[in-house]
């Protein structure tokens, strides 16, 4: 035998080390070699080397008259292999045939099968749990909705019957609470439907510009109350009538817009919508909602679109909310074949952008109406009610002074509890509110912001006291 050639003995010692069962058998199905694993696993020991293969695989190789079914053996891929004691185990196997000598390789897949069965069982159990949970959520939300609507209805009746201004204030608050509660109930219901894959996106004709108008209008009271500016800029090549889910599109836009209002105390909110693609009657729109609010840090951005996540527990306490809004919004956007993206810098602001695919309605194709008639949609037009903004930034007006005082109180509180992130925001707001103030004051505000940014408690307090003294001196002299 030449060098490098393997002897029969070598081959058998390799076969003995194999993790597979290896059997050699002749054309009659008689085994004449079995490796160590086969001898041990099947319980026959040396006796295996006289046995017929059909004894090991009775179901696969049931011998009919006329000898061993070699053809059937060649086609075997999975089967049950029997031990001497009558027990059996599943195997995956391959048969190589040639020259009156055949080889069978088999591997015991009992563990694999067991794992597969466990996985199937787990999946079934999970589906069952999810189903029960969704039914539970549907029932509970329904049960909650009824009393909330009841309370709201009765309170509205009371208001209509004429009450004193004080009582009327309280009743307004109750109505607002009911509305918040309804919004949360709806979110929970949506979320559970989305999770169960039961959410259906409607395809109905709607007026796109009216939809935008309506959504912006709903947020105007809150925008005005905070003295913010809003700019809406819509690409006029977008047809007036589109087909899609108006309610859900409103929900998406409203979520971004109301968050922008909620997390911005000074500055402006900008909405932009452009048409990115139109092919036949299919259209893709790209929305951007940006604000000059508290912003979101990169680490926090990662968590944002996951359910029940609010970037920071202290934010929940301050602003409220369940953290479900963005998770729902993201899924709704994806159901409209779009995607969502966030650019944000802590303390500077956030810009949420998303795309959705809709269809152009027949009506729109027939009459591409002019869209200027809609109040808020002229290029870069500011919404009414914003002269108050000027007063905010104009240094020394009562609004400005009051706002600065309010922010300073909050700032010192944050500094005392060492909540530096929030303190930084307040210090920044104060600096902005003092943009038009005399130089000394501006410089003091700048130094304060720098020290707060460094998180240096003692220096920050020192600069805070300094700023307060200069501020009081300045407004005292005005």
Which residues of the chain form contacts with ligand ADP (CB under 6 A)? Answer: 255, 259-260, 263, 291, 293-294, 296, 304, 310-311, 315, 321-326, 350
Question: Minimal distance in Å, beta carbon 183 to ligand ADP?
Answer: 9
Question: Minimal distance in Å, beta carbon 191 to ligand ADP?
Answer: 10
Question: Minimal distance in Å, beta carbon 357 to ligand ADP?
Answer: 23
Strand partners, 273: 234, 287
Q: What is the distance between the alpha carbons of residues 145 and 152, in angstroms, rounded to a whole number?
A: 10
Nearer CB in complex with ligand ADP: 296/448 = 296
Nearer CB in complex with ligand ADP: 155/294 = 294
Nearer CB in complex with ligand ADP: 108/322 = 322
Question: Minimal distance in Å, beta carbon 295 to ligand ADP?
Answer: 6
Q: Phi and psi of 318, rounded to 5°?
A: -75, -45
Question: Minimal distance in Å, beta carbon 288 to ligand ADP?
Answer: 12
Nearer CB in complex with ligand ADP: 304/444 = 304
Nearer CB in complex with ligand ADP: 209/352 = 352
Pick from 11, 63, 5, 59: nearest CA to 33: 11
Nearer CB in complex with ligand ADP: 60/291 = 291
Question: Minimal distance in Å, beta carbon 344 to ligand ADP?
Answer: 7
Strand partners, 352: 289, 342
Question: Minimal distance in Å, beta carbon 321 to ligand ADP?
Answer: 2
Q: Phi and psi of 105, rounded to 5°?
A: -110, 130
Contact 350, 296 (CB under 8 A): yes
Question: Minimal distance in Å, beta carbon 375 to ligand ADP?
Answer: 24
Q: Rounded to the nearest 5 degrees, what angle is found at the Cα of 219, between the Cα atoms of 337 and 254? A: 15
Nearer CB in complex with ligand ADP: 81/324 = 324
Q: What is the distance between the alpha carbons of residues 277 and 46, in angstroms, rounded to a whole number?
A: 75
Nearer CB in complex with ligand ADP: 42/269 = 269
Question: Minimal distance in Å, beta carbon 273 to ligand ADP?
Answer: 17
Per-residue burial over 217-256, b if 16 or more Cβ lie within 10 Å, else e, is eebeeebbebbbbbbbbbebebbbbbbbbbebbbbbbbbb
Nearer CB in complex with ligand ADP: 81/326 = 326
Question: Minimal distance in Å, beta carbon 346 to ligand ADP?
Answer: 9
Contact 427, 459 (CB under 8 A): no
Nearer CB in complex with ligand ADP: 282/345 = 345
Nearer CB in complex with ligand ADP: 73/427 = 427
**What is the number of residues in the chain?**
478
Contact 57, 79 (CB under 8 A): yes
Closest residue to ligand ADP using C-beta atoms: 321
Q: What is the distance between the alpha carbons of residues 291 and 261, in angstroms, rounded to a whole number?
A: 8
Q: What is the DSSP string of 273-303?
A: EEEEEEETTEEEEEEEEEE-SS---HHHHHH
Number of Cβ atoms within 10 Å of the Cβ of 303: 15
Q: What is the distance between the alpha carbons of residues 372 and 370, in angstroms, rounded to a whole number?
A: 6
| SS3 assignment, position 412 | helix
Question: Minimal distance in Å, beta carbon 425 to ligand ADP?
Answer: 10
Packing angle between helix 325-335 and helix 165-195, nearest 10 degrees? 50
Number of Cβ atoms within 10 Å of the Cβ of 130: 14
Question: Minimal distance in Å, beta carbon 416 to ligand ADP?
Answer: 23
Nearer CB in complex with ligand ADP: 156/301 = 301
Q: What is the distance between the alpha carbons of residues 208 and 204, in angstroms, rounded to a whole number?
A: 12
Q: What is the distance between the alpha carbons of residues 382 and 220, in angstroms, rounded to a whole number?
A: 12
| SS3 assignment, position 436 | coil
446: CB partners within 8 A, 6+ apart: 431
Cα 378 from chain centroid (whole Å): 33
Strands of 389-457 (E only): list them: none
């Amino acid at each position: 035998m030449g060098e490098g050639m393997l002897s029969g003995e070598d081959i058998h010692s390799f076969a003995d080390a194999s993790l597979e069962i290896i059997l050699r058998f002749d054309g009659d199905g008689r085994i004449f070699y079995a490796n160590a694993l086969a001898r041990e696993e099947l319980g026959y020991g040396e006796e295996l080397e006289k046995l017929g293969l059909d004894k090991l695989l009775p179901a696969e190789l049931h011998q009919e008259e006329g000898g061993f079914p070699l053809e059937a053996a060649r086609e075997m891929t999975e089967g049950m292999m029997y031990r001497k004691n009558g027990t059996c185990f599943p195997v995956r196997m391959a048969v190589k045939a040639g020259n009156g000598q055949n080889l069978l390789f088999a591997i015991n897949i009992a563990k694999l099968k067991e794992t597969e069965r466990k996985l199937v069982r787990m999946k079934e159990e999970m589906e069952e749990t999810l189903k029960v949970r969704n039914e539970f959520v549907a029932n509970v939300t329904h049960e909650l909705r009824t009393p909330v609507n009841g309370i709201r209805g009765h309170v509205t009746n009371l208001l209509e019957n004429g009450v004193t201004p004080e009582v009327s204030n309280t009743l307004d608050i109750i109505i607002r609470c009911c509305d918040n509660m309804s919004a949360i109930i709806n979110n929970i219901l949506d979320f559970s439907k989305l999770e169960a894959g039961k959410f259906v996106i409607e395809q109905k004709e709607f007026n796109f510009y009216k939809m935008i108008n309506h959504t912006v209008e709903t947020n105007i009271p809150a925008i005005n109350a905070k003295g913010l500016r809003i700019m809406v800029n819509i690409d006029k090549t977008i047809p007036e009538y589109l087909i899609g889910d108006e309610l859900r599109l409103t929900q998406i836009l409203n979520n971004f817009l109301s968050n922008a209002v909620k997390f911005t105390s000074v500055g402006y909110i900008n909405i932009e919508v452009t048409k990115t693609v139109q092919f036949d009657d299919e259209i893709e729109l790209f929305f951007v909602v940006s604000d000059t609010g508290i912003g979101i840090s990169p680490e926090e951005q990662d968590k944002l679109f996951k359910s029940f996540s609010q970037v920071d527990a202290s934010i929940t306490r301050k602003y409220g909310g369940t953290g479900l809004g963005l998770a729902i919004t993201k899924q709704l956007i994806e159901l409209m074949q779009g995607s969502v993206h966030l650019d944000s810098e802590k303390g500077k602001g956030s810009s949420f952008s998303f795309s959705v695919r809709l269809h152009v309605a027949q009506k729109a194709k027939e009459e591409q109406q002019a869209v200027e008639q809609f109040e808020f949609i002229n290029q870069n037009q500011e919404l009414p009610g914003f002269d108050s903004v000027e007063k905010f930034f104009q240094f020394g007006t009562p609004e400005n002074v009051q706002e600065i005082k309010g922010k300073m109180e909050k700032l010192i509180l944050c500094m005392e509890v060492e909540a530096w992130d929030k303190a930084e925001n307040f210090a920044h707001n104060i600096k902005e509110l003092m943009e038009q103030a005399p130089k000394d004051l501006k410089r003091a505000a700048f130094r304060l912001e720098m020290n707060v940014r460094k998180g240096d408690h003692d220096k920050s307090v020192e600069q805070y006291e300094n700023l307060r003294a200069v501020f009081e001196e300045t407004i005292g002299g005005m």
